[in-house]
Amino acid sequence: MMSCSLSFLSYCILLLVLAFCDLLLEVESRALFVFGDSLVDNGNNNYLLTSARADSPPYGIDYPTHRATGRFSNGLNIPDIISEQLGMEPTLPYLAPQLTGDRLLVGANFASAGVGILNDTGIQFFNIIRIAKQLEYFEQYQRRVSGLIGAEQTEQLVNSALILITLGGNDFVNNYYLVPFSARSRQFSLPDYVVYLISEYRKILQKLYDLGGRRVLVTGTGPIGCVPAELAQRSISGECSVELQRAAALFNPQLTQMLADLNSQIGANVFIAANTFTMNMNFVSNPQAYGFVTSKIACCGQGPYNGIGLCTPLSNLCPNRDIYAFWDPFHPSERANRIIVQQILTGSSEYMNPMNLSTIMALDSRT
């Protein structure tokens, strides 16, 4: 009887050891953390009382399950495609109840549609996860993982992770230019507002570094004056909004310079600037060269350019999403997202500064 009990105990210990080894193997694979807005949110807002949601059809029509997931896309979004291309397991929304146990070791998506660099951006959406709260959740995440694998392994997991952050567009379209004579436009001239945004963004990125981020992809704004929503409101004959394009043209170079300054201060290439303005502008200005029939009309929407209101079951819906650069009034289609991710992976210094993601992965594999 005692021999049987000892054998059973040994078996249990072996199972525990094997389970712990599996956890360590998970840690050795690279985690992905995502912060930002609707361009990268994969479902956190589904768990919030907010109007900034993509949890009903036809969102997700081309997702593997053909169901709306909370992604503002017909299918996959940018973090999904990065995970796919790098052979990583896709991250879950941080608020998803399924994000427990060893699934935490894959990383987490903290992004929330509607947020910006500033706390007053997106106030019309009510309950969204503002960027300060996203960073609080990142701290909470690390405490949860420490309880699973220990503090030292958690620090290693976070330090070696890939981080993606996308902010800035909403600070223009859902703040400064949201209504005529908005509070921020009365407080700041556009050039001064951009300087203020950059200074606030620097604090956010410094906090991300302080929390352990060591490889951080930072995307600029896209051509916000050319999205179907802005064409519908501001364009007479399909031309991009000059004022919103001017905002992007001021913001993006200053963002790149701020990232270079941060890297210089730290003494390492922690922050990588992704020139998503030019990545998007390539197919916006010449859609046919990229296999699109239009970059002005959204696949899903209503009104001029399908740019008014939300994408809903009652909206106009194109039969072939692959030939539309924009899925809804604000967001690229999955196929457009794939073009963007390809440049993030392999783009020249015109698109990725100081290096592209493939170079990062190759360098980091040697350390």
Q: Which residues are catalytically annotated?
A: 38, 328, 331
The whole-angstrom separation of Cα 276 and Cα 71 is: 19
- 3-class secondary structure, 208: helix
- Those residues with Cβ within 8 angstroms of residue 150's Cβ, 6 or more apart along the chain or in another chain: none
**120-126: long-range pairs with CB below 8 Å, 24+:** 120/175, 120/183, 120/184, 121/170, 121/171, 121/174, 121/175, 122/52, 122/170, 122/174, 122/175, 124/51, 124/174, 124/178, 125/50, 125/51, 125/52, 125/174, 126/49, 126/50, 126/51
Residue 192 tokens read as 């001064």
CB 60 within 8 A of CB 97: no
Cβ atoms within 10 Å of 319's Cβ, excluding its own: 6
The whole-angstrom separation of Cα 168 and Cα 64 is: 30
Q: What is the DSSP letter of 272?
A: E
